[in-house]
Amino acid sequence: MTNAGAPHDLSMLFVELGAAIVGLAVLARLASRWGFSAIPLYLLAGLAFGNGGLLPLGLSEQFIHVGGEIGVLLLLFMLGLEYTGEELYRNLRGGLSAGLVDFALNFTPGLIAGLLLGWPPLAAVLLGGVTWISSSGIIAKVLSDMKRLSNVETPFVMAVLVLEDLAMAIYLPIVAVLLRGGDAATIATSVGVALVTVLLILYVALRHGPAISRWFAHTLDEVALLSTFGSVLLVAGLAQRLHVSSAVGAFLVGVTLSGPMAHQSQRLLSPLRDLFAATFFFFFGLQIDPATLPAVTLPALMLGAVTAFTKVLTGWWAARGTNRDARLRAGLALISRGEFSIVIAGLATEVEPRILPLAGAYVLLLAVLGPFVARLGRS
């Protein structure tokens, strides 16, 4: 009976997955015709077809989740291809003050909101993390869709995003240890391992990028594709094991590659990026139960309004020295929240279960709003 049922189950998975992807293609076509990013439509589709939605699908959540995570990695990898190691180092050095401003302006509202809601201090700290971190995946996709990767403000936007992702190498290990009740020595060890890992990857990218690019290069697309894709997954996985963001690992692999190899990788991996990125945003919507949203709509709207404004201020500060339009575009581009916010909210459920629906409503609001308002800045 089990053997007879397995092909049927597999065929239904193929049918449902194929129908979902065709549906995403229809949404992408509509978005292209209307002239805006398809990301909000992907998110709303996930909300409609997830648990508690209008028509729940029996898709394998593990399968979709893995595909979505690969999408984020490829988005960040492709973004890293736009920069050399020297450019990244220069942008990070110049962006340190913007990173501090970003933390002060965007962590504080979440922290205060958590305390006002009467949550435990650790839960309030975690809500601060939810409101602090912009979505690298969504913003990378929006900048690519709008053909703004070469804009004057984009390096400043990327400096803020990379600093946020690198800051997660400190924030997440500390939070994980606190949730387990660890002591100061355990925290110091976890943070030390994460920082050494990031610095090692940065060193390799800066010092040995050209040599690695030459080693990866090959006239056969098949060899180049397998070498590059495998390396992205390998480095991202190792980074994650060492409590560093896998997205940071993928981004730095992109920074490491340069010259003809970077162009070849971009050409070969762009279709995979688009497929898996759509899967990521769809899966994100699937995780949110619509029934939990009405009770947290008002606080999510208030928190979203405040932190959308503080992100605009962050981008305005980060892109100082450019013209007013560029500074406004930088601020509007940073509004979206996404993958890291959900990860942090998931951790916080151990101390405050109410944070997940609030974070879900908050992230959904800004993930949908962000791509729309990003278009308001004049190119």
pLDDT tens, 165-174? 778 777 877 7
pLDDT category of residue 8 using cuts at 50, 70 and 90: low
Confidence (pTM):
0.75
pLDDT confidence of residue 214: 81
pLDDT confidence of residue 305: 96
For residue 101, is pLDDT > 90?
A: yes
Long-range contact set of residues 98-102: C-beta below 8 Å, sequence gap at least 24: 98/156, 98/159, 98/160, 98/163, 98/314, 98/317, 98/318, 99/159, 99/160, 99/163, 99/164, 99/167, 101/313, 101/314, 101/317, 101/318, 102/132, 102/160, 102/163, 102/164, 102/314, 102/318
Percent of residues, the chain, with pLDDT higher than 70: 89
Which of left, alpha, beta for 163 (phi over 0: left; psi -120 to 50: alpha)? alpha
The amino acid at 37:
S
Both tokens of 115, joined, read 């305390």
Both tokens of 16, joined, read 């449902």
Q: What is the rounded average pLDDT of the residues 302-330?
A: 94
Beta bridge partners of residue 322, listed in sequence order: 320
All domains of the chain in start order, with CATH: 60-376 (1.20.1530.20)
pLDDT confidence of residue 55: 65
pLDDT category of residue 1 using cuts at 50, 70 and 90: very low
Q: For residue 376, count other CB atoms closer than 10 A to its CB.
A: 9
Cβ(247)–Cβ(235) under 8 Å? no
* Chain-centroid distance, C-alpha 48: 22
**Angstrom distance (rounded) from CA 189 to CA 187:** 5
Percent of residues, the chain, with pLDDT higher than 90: 21
pLDDT confidence of residue 334: 95
Cβ(268)–Cβ(226) under 8 Å? no
For residue 324, is pLDDT > 80?
A: yes
pLDDT tens, 243-284? 676 777 887 888 788 777 888 888 888 888 888 878 877 877
Q: Which stretch of 8-17, 153-162, 214-223, 291-300 has the lowest confidence by average pLDDT?
A: 8-17
pLDDT tens, 328-377? 999 999 999 877 787 787 777 778 888 888 988 898 899 888 888 888 87
pLDDT category of residue 312 using cuts at 50, 70 and 90: very high
Q: What is the rounded average pLDDT of the residues 53-78?
A: 72
Mean pLDDT, the chain, rounded, equals 82
Q: What is the rounded average pLDDT of the residues 181-196?
A: 76
**Angstrom distance (rounded) from CA 341 to CA 128:** 10
Instruction: Select the more confidently predicted residue: 379 or 26.
Output: 26
Q: What is the rounded average pLDDT of the residues 55-79?
A: 73
Q: Identify the three-state secondary structure at position 102.
A: helix
For residue 292, is pLDDT > 60?
A: yes
Instruction: Select the more confidently predicted residue: 159 or 131.
Output: 131
pLDDT confidence of residue 5: 52
pLDDT confidence of residue 56: 65
- Per the listing, tokens 């942008």 go with 91
